[in-house]
Amino acid sequence: MEHESDRVLEGKILHEESYPRLQEREVLIDNAFKMDHIDGKYVREVKMSSKMQESDHLQMLFYLYQLELRGVQKRGLISYTKEKKTVEVILDNDERAKVKRAIAQAYRVIEQAKPPVVKKLPYCKSCAYFGFCYVREADEYAT
């Protein structure tokens, strides 16, 4: 579904166009996760808007944590290029605990037999999966 989302395409182009001087782009680790850039001691991630800072932050923590498990120490930078704003992310003890909790919670969802009940959130409307989550037929049967 992401293949067809204009928003996903926009993000992809933004990613390709920004920071042309950085060498390491789209770094795929162990076929499991893909980071936008690695620049010296920083892992970098480019975002379209800062509307989802909380999840952007967790995503970066996840990268840093996964790298740490593989013996690599890095810091993170999240760039909101349109807003000319960059946020630094550091994996300390508190943050490490936070990302571990989030991973555990994610597994709890994955292991459920059924997807959780749809909860309508403001960002749903721009999501690539909107059609899948919200399609239904009206209940009244008027023929």
For other proteins, the binding residues (CB under 8 A) are 3-4, 113-115, 130-132, 134-138, 142-143
Q: Which is nearer to other proteins, 72 or 106 (CB)?
A: 106
Q: Looking at beta carbons only, is 54 or 140 nearer to other proteins?
A: 140
CA dihedral 55, 113, 115, 108 (to 10 degrees): -20
Residue type for position 112: Q
The CB-of-132 to other proteins minimum distance in angstroms stands at: 5
Nearer to other proteins, 69 or 138 (CB): 138
- For the bound state, the minimum distance from the C-beta of residue 142 to other proteins, rounded and expressed in Å, comes to 8
User: Exposure string (b/e) for 98-132, b if CB count within 10 Å is 16 or more?
Assistant: bbeebeeeeeeeeeeeeeeeeeeeeeeeebeeeee
